[in-house]
Amino acid sequence: MTRESVAQLIHWNLIIWAFGIVNVVAMLPQLAKLVRTKETKGLSTGMFWIYFWIQVAFSFQGFFRRDEMLMWCLGLSAVVSITIIVLIYRYRKAARMKRLEKLAHGIIPTMRAHIQNLNDLKMVEYHGFQKCSFKDIPAIYSLLRDTGYDTRSLQIEVIKVERDQSNEIHFHKHSDAFVVVLDHGLGFRDPCNARAYINGAWKEVLPQDAIPIPRGTRHGFTVDNGGVLWFLSVQSPPITDFMGTRDDYVRVSG
């Protein structure tokens, strides 16, 4: 009896299709749980990338060998894997920005006590902006614990824009940032003739605006006709270090 006749006798074609379909649906519970909970802890994107490329390779093997089971079942498995990968990246980005937002809004009340006079701020030039970094604010230590940050993984700055910076659209390769516009309630001037570049367009900046800036997002801030803009920027990891040896600032216009 030949192998072909054995395969026909046991209906191997149906069996292998059944296993192929099982392979497709095997990760659907993981996908459903990910969508339901948005919890990515313990999930390895590296592992899913390996699965994805193996599945793509065997799908092409099926195409070249005219094996429909391999082509369709492994191709569909690859679709499930890449969907999981995309969702992991998306949910992790959302979680990072939510943590930064919580921290930024928690810092705002402490600034009233920490900044007694704007003239006391030691502003330095940075790509045409003026900024003041805060290395040590004891009042926010509990916030750091609650949000999972420490002082080494975070940079807190007050930024002042007082000139045309429309040619300083930029992005950060590795750092996320969350910006909160400051106003007279904290002793700063309300934003005047101020605009922010985000999502591909300039828009007016208003007091207490909150602007999430995930890594890789092109953005910028400018003022017109003698305007001014003050904002709090909370960044993780730090865009610059205090030694001046690293600067995660990539200019894309001007």
Chain Cα centroid distance, residue 178 = 11
pLDDT in tens, the chain (254 residues): 788 888 888 888 899 999 999 999 999 999 999 999 999 999 999 999 999 999 999 999 999 999 999 999 999 999 999 999 999 999 999 999 999 999 898 888 877 666 666 667 788 999 999 998 876 566 666 677 777 777 778 898 999 999 999 999 999 999 999 999 999 888 899 999 999 999 899 999 999 999 999 999 999 999 998 899 999 999 999 998 766 678 999 999 65
Q: Give the model's pLDDT for residue 138.
A: 63
In a domain, 171, yes or no: yes
Q: Give the model's pLDDT for residue 243.
A: 66
In a domain, 103, yes or no: no
Neighbouring residues of 66: CB distance < 8 A, sequence distance ≥ 6: none
In a domain, 18, yes or no: yes
DSSP 63-115: HHTT-HHIIIIIHHHHHHHHHHHHHHHHHHHHHHHHHHHHHHHHHHHHHHHH-
CATH code of 153's domain: 2.60.120.10
Q: Are residues 124 and 242 in the same domain?
A: yes
Q: Are residues 66 and 120 in the same domain?
A: no
Task: Write down the pTM of the prediction.
Answer: 0.83
In a domain, 124, yes or no: yes
- Supply the range of the domain harboring residue 218: 115-251
Q: Are residues 119 and 211 in the same domain?
A: yes
Q: Are residues 210 and 126 in the same domain?
A: yes
Q: Are residues 55 and 129 in the same domain?
A: no
Q: Are residues 139 and 50 in the same domain?
A: no
By three-state DSSP, how is residue 70 classified?
A: helix
Chain Cα centroid distance, residue 175 = 8
Q: Are residues 160 and 66 in the same domain?
A: no
Distance CA(190)–CA(185), nearest Å, equals: 9
Do residues 175 and 249 make contact, with C-beta atoms less than 8 angstroms apart?
A: no
Distance CA(19)–CA(40), nearest Å, equals: 28
Q: Are residues 125 and 239 in the same domain?
A: yes
Which helix or strand (DSSP H or E) is residue 49 part of? helix 45-64
What is the chain's percent helix, strand, coil content, to nearest 5?
Answer: 45, 25, 30
Distance CA(42)–CA(27), nearest Å, equals: 15
Q: Are residues 79 and 163 in the same domain?
A: no
In a domain, 110, yes or no: no
DSSP 144-183: HHHHT--GGG-EEEEEEE-S--TT--EE-SS-EEEEEE--
Distance CA(166)–CA(253), nearest Å, equals: 8
Q: Are residues 49 and 138 in the same domain?
A: no
CATH code of 28's domain: 1.20.1280.290
Q: What is the DSSP letter of 240?
A: B
Q: Give the model's pLDDT for residue 106.
A: 86
Distance CA(104)–CA(114), nearest Å, equals: 15
Amino acid at site 222: T
Distance CA(229)–CA(112), nearest Å, equals: 18
Q: Are residues 237 and 169 in the same domain?
A: yes
Do residues 178 and 210 make contact, with C-beta atoms less than 8 angstroms apart?
A: yes
In a domain, 109, yes or no: no
Question: Of the candidates 60, 95, 130, which is a domain's last residue?
Answer: 95
By three-state DSSP, how is residue 132 classified?
A: strand
Question: Of the candidates 95, 125, 154, which is a domain's last residue?
Answer: 95
- Tokens 């216009």 belong to 253
Say how many domains are in the chain.
Answer: 2
Do residues 153 and 236 make contact, with C-beta atoms less than 8 angstroms apart?
A: yes
Q: Are residues 180 and 57 in the same domain?
A: no
Distance CA(79)–CA(85), nearest Å, equals: 10
